[in-house]
Chains A and B, each alone.
Chain A
Amino acid sequence: MGATSAVIRLGYVHLRVTDLEEARNHYSNTLGMEVVHEEPGKLWLKCWDEWDHHSLVLEEGGVGLVKFGYKVESSDDLASFERRAQQFGVTTARLSAGENLTVGDGVRITLPSEQVLELYSEMEFTGTDTGSINPEAWPRNVRGVGTHWIDHALVPAEDPALTERFMMDVLDFRPAERVVASMEHPDLIGTWMSCGESPHDLAIIKGPNAKLHHFAYHLEDWGAILRAGDIFSMDDVPIDIGPTRHGITRGTTIYFFDPAGNRNEVFAGLGYRVHHDFPTINWTVDQLAKGIFYHARELNDAFTSVFT
Chain B
Amino acid sequence: MRLRSGAEAGNSHGGDDAPPAEPSADHPRADPSAVHPRGTGELTFAVTILPAGVHLSASGSDTLLRALSRAGLRYRVGCKRGGCGICKVQLLLGEVRYERPIAASVLSDDERVEGICLSCRAVPLTDVVIELQEGDRLRRVLGFAYPQ
Name A residues whose Cβ lies closer than 8 Å to a Cβ of B: 16, 18-19, 22, 61-64, 238, 240, 257-263, 301-302, 305-308
Residue among A16, A63, A262, A302 with the most chain B CB within 10 A?
A: A63
Interface size class for chain B?
Answer: 10 to 19
Contact A261 B101 (CB under 8 A): no
- C-alpha gap A257/B100 in the complex (Å): 16
Q: Is the interface of B mostly helix, strand, loop or mixed?
A: loop
- Nearest residue, chain B, Cβ from A237: B81
Q: Which 9 A-B pairs have the closest CB atoms?
A: A261-B83, A261-B79, A306-B78, A257-B79, A261-B81, A238-B80, A63-B83, A306-B84, A18-B101
Q: A62-B105, A307-B84 are in contact. Are A18 and B100 (CB under 8 A)?
A: yes
Q: A62-B103, A63-B103, A63-B105 are in contact. Are A18 and B82 (CB under 8 A)?
A: yes
Q: Which residues of A contact B73 (CB under 8 A)?
A: none
Q: A18-B100, A301-B76 are in contact. Are A260 and B105 (CB under 8 A)?
A: no
Q: Give the distance to chain A from B43, nearest Cβ to Cβ, in Å.
A: 23
- C-alpha gap A285/B80 in the complex (Å): 27
B52 interfacial by beta-carbon distance below 8 Å: no
Q: Give the distance to chain A from B59, nearest Cβ to Cβ, in Å.
A: 18
Contact B83 A308 (CB under 8 A): yes
Q: Give the distance to chain B from A257, nearest Cβ to Cβ, in Å.
A: 4
Q: Which residues of B contact A63 (CB under 8 A)?
A: 82-83, 103, 105-106
Contact A258 B86 (CB under 8 A): no
Q: Which residues of A contact B103 (CB under 8 A)?
A: 16, 18, 61-64, 260
Q: Give the distance to chain A from B21, nearest Cβ to Cβ, in Å.
A: 26
- C-alpha gap A19/B101 in the complex (Å): 7
Q: Which residues of A contact B76 (CB under 8 A)?
A: 301
Instruction: Choose among A16, A261, A263, A305 the residue that contacts B82 (Cβ–Cβ < 8 A).
Output: A261
B54 interfacial by beta-carbon distance below 8 Å: no
Q: Give the distance to chain A from B133, nearest Cβ to Cβ, in Å.
A: 12
Q: Which residues of B contact A259 (CB under 8 A)?
A: 81, 100
Contact B86 A302 (CB under 8 A): yes
Residue among B84, B86, B102 with the most chain A CB within 10 A?
A: B84
Known: A63-B105, A260-B82. 20 other contacts (CB 8 A): A18-B82, A18-B101, A18-B103, A19-B100, A19-B101, A61-B103, A63-B82, A63-B83, A63-B106, A64-B105, A238-B80, A257-B80, A257-B83, A258-B83, A260-B81, A261-B80, A261-B81, A261-B84, A261-B106, A302-B79
Q: Would you list 23 pairs from A and B whose C-beta atoms are within 8 A, ordered by A residue?
A: A16-B103, A18-B82, A18-B83, A18-B100, A18-B102, A19-B100, A19-B101, A22-B100, A62-B104, A63-B82, A63-B105, A240-B79, A260-B83, A261-B78, A261-B80, A261-B81, A261-B82, A261-B83, A262-B79, A262-B83, A306-B78, A306-B86, A307-B84
Q: Which residues of B contact A257 (CB under 8 A)?
A: 79-81, 83
Q: A18-B103, A19-B101 are in contact. Are A302 and B78 (CB under 8 A)?
A: yes
- Nearest residue, chain A, Cβ from B118: A261
- C-alpha gap A308/B102 in the complex (Å): 13
B77 interfacial by beta-carbon distance below 8 Å: yes
Q: Which residues of A contact B78 (CB under 8 A)?
A: 261, 302, 305-306
Contact A263 B101 (CB under 8 A): no
Q: Which residues of A contact B104 (CB under 8 A)?
A: 62
Q: Which residues of B contact A305 (CB under 8 A)?
A: 78, 86
